[in-house]
Chains A and B, each alone.
Chain A
Amino acid sequence: MPRETVLVGSPNSGKSLLFNRLTGLSQKVANFPGITVRLGRGELLGHGDEVLIDFPGTYSLAPISGEERIASDGFQAALARPELQRVLCVVDATRLGKSLSLALQVLREGARQGKDVLLVATMTDAFPPGGGAFDAAGLSVALGVPVFPVSGKTGAGLDTLRGALAGAAGVPVPPRYAELQDEALQAEAQDLMARFGAPGALLLRGQTRLDGFFLHSIFGGLAFFALMAVLFQSIFTWAAPAMDGIEAALAWGADGLVPLLPSTLLKDFVSDALFGGVGAFLVFVPQIFVLTVIVGIMEDSGYMARAAVICHRPLRVFGLTGKSFVPMLSGVACAIPGIYAARVVESPRKRWLTYLAVPLMPCSARLPVYTLLIAAFIPATPMLGGLLGLQGLAMVGLYLFGLLAGLVVTSLVSRLSPSKDDDLPFVLEMPPYRVPAWGPLLQTALRRSKDFVTKAGAVIFAVTVVVWVLGYFPNSGEDLGASWLGGLGRWIEPLFAPLGLDWRYGVAILTSFLAREVFVGTLGAIFGIEGAEENFLPLADQIQASGMGLPSGLALLVFFALALQCVSTVAVLARESGSWRLPLSMVAAYLVLAYGAAWVAFLLASALL
């Protein structure tokens, strides 16, 4: 049976980097038995029988939020396991003050449960020349347990630590810790801090100068907007070649594979369901990768904490926190990376509110739908002396509408369900500015992309197959109107009649719950136009000719701005929030909201126009 070692440490103590260094980036995300916190698990490099388990960073074993309670209960459960031999407590050598309380609490638990405890002091490379070295030996004598000074960045001291972990069990924790009371514990932490802590002012000087710029009332705000513009732009520009590449590769694969298939049924299934349906979601992978890397750079460099400080006040008005900003901004490109980015929000309640806002952000999948409907219903009247057309203005309006809807929903929900005790107030550590560790950063982005393809992909594949089967049978895809899907469309037609929409739009809306852009393709198929995705105008003309009026068009636009029609988002939300309850209630609530708002828009437009 492999021996287990648990890693604990405060946030920003370099614990994850140390874990990656010790395990050689072999981290597998696994759920620990009995608890719902995601834990990293990996084998010690070169020693397959030593397993390391990475616990979430925490400042204390005394929890102040529901999420921290789960983590701290999980830690207690882990200690009770016979396989678990040791606890590796990570302290930041440059900022012992915030790490020592936790270290003493861990020693106390170790003494009570009879487990060995090792201390690892990280960031030893950050000591400025001439600033005095970190006294690991002295701290070790004072604590009575081994202390290993390491640098996750340069790798110094790691071989010694690895050797110690692979060797025999260490020294038991001195029994006196078992009886340590909270007050004595804090006094001891203060005393140790005074004796072994780094000369704080020396280390903080560089940080203070940079903060003077990034938190400046004017320059800090400008820097914030500039960086956000780069982030937003990068999701579109840097990911675009890869997205085009994936599309081209899929088209090439379909062209090459489909003619080789033996039967028409198989050919249609592979080209429509497999390449058309599942392929459509693979296109999002580059966006997720690029966004994860950029958000990772912002986190690792320490800038994220400053951005959160800057936009904390404005977002608080809407019940959110400063940290909700990045997920919401990402959501403007695509809700999926936005949901992943919400991991930076520690407060469970604020993260939950952020989840509510992200799918309302005007994502890029709404773009084809908006383009088609605007072309069909909004005249190309020049405005502002030709500077902006009425159509362009409508597009801007739709983007603002989505943003505003997200903020209104979160502020309403946060006011209707008042804050509970486990809502964390805004206490945010300002970590030192650092150059990111590129290897682990790219590794995380790759892992998250793979995670998206395997986990969300399974759900998307299942739904795609169901929709395809409904649309294909019983007449082999000859006539969508006569298929089961068409029958379903006629059956639900009364539902869309109040919005002035007939069965064709009903079916297109139904399929668009797979992914919004499917709306365009479905309508194209229904109107019998080949390649509707490539050229919008003929389809827009058809829609105009079909006799649908402007009020119905506006209703459709409002509906698409608000409804959560994206299987990928639902799957990722279920995975990230840990249950299907939240995404499914969001689908239902936003459907009601979207339908109601669309109906109001239809009535208003009918009365006024």
Chain B
Amino acid sequence: MSQPLWALPRGQRARVRDLSDALPAAQAQRLRELGFLPGAIVECVHRPAFGAPRVYAVAGACFSLEREIARRIYTEPLEESAHAS
């Protein structure tokens, strides 16, 4: 079961599964370099109202992503036992 990162509720964490093929190659590579690569744990830190870009923590840094990006990053829910990683 996978869901887009954009759907992740505030304060919840998920594991990145895949980046959509719809993302241009250069942009996908940049996202991976920033830490959004398969296996990484992402937390939704803030969800400002009115569709503003949302803030995600990954690899110890925070990035705000707009909808067009965040809905193309697929995540899978995190099992409680995986929290330690």
Interface residues of A (CB under 8 A from B): 59-60, 62-64, 94-98, 101-102, 182, 186, 190, 193, 197-198, 200, 203-204, 207-208, 211-212, 215-217, 220, 305, 309-310, 312-313, 322, 421, 425-430
Contacts and interface: CB of A to CB of B under 8 A. Distances in A.
B35 A309 contact: no
Contact of A64 (B27, B52, B65): B27
Given A60-B29, A60-B30, A211-B45, A430 B65 contact: no
A98 B52 contact: no
Top 6 nearest A-B pairs by Cβ distance? Answer: A97-B59, A200-B60, A217-B49, A430-B62, A426-B66, A101-B33
B64 A313 contact: no
Interface in B15-49: 24, 26-27, 29-35, 37, 39-40, 45-46, 48-49
Nearest to B61: A95
B63 A428 contact: yes
B contacts with A: majority SS: mixed
Contacts of B27: 64, 425
22 contacts: A59-B34, A64-B26, A64-B27, A64-B30, A94-B60, A95-B60, A97-B59, A97-B61, A193-B59, A200-B57, A208-B45, A211-B62, A215-B46, A215-B52, A305-B64, A309-B64, A426-B53, A426-B64, A429-B64, A430-B55, A430-B62, A430-B64
A211 B32 contact: no
Contacts of A97: 34-35, 58-61
Contacts of B24: 421
B16 to A, nearest CB: 12
A310 B63 contact: no
B40 to A, nearest CB: 8
Contacts of A95: 59-61
Contacts of B45: 204, 208, 211
A98 B61 contact: yes
A63 B34 CA distance: 13
B63 A427 contact: yes
B37 A190 contact: yes
Nearest to B72: A425
Nearest to A421: B24
A313 B37 CA distance: 27
B53 A211 contact: no
Nearest to B48: A215
A63 B29 CA distance: 10
B68 interface: yes
A95 to B, nearest CB: 4
A304 to B, nearest CB: 12
B69 interface: yes
A431 B39 CA distance: 24
B64 A428 contact: yes
B30 A59 contact: yes
B63 A186 contact: no
Choose among B27, B35, B39, B68 the residue with the greatest number of A CB atoms under 10 Å from its CB. Answer: B35
B63 A429 contact: yes
B37 to A, nearest CB: 6
A60 B49 CA distance: 31
Interface string B49-85: 1111101011111111110110000000000000000
A182 B29 CA distance: 10
Contacts of B26: 62-64
A555 B29 CA distance: 53
A198 B65 contact: no
A427 B46 contact: no
B35 A313 contact: no
Nearest to B37: A186
A208 B29 CA distance: 27
Contacts of A429: 61-64
Contacts of B69: 425-427
Max count, chain A CB within 10 A of own CB: residue among B24, B27, B57, B59: B59
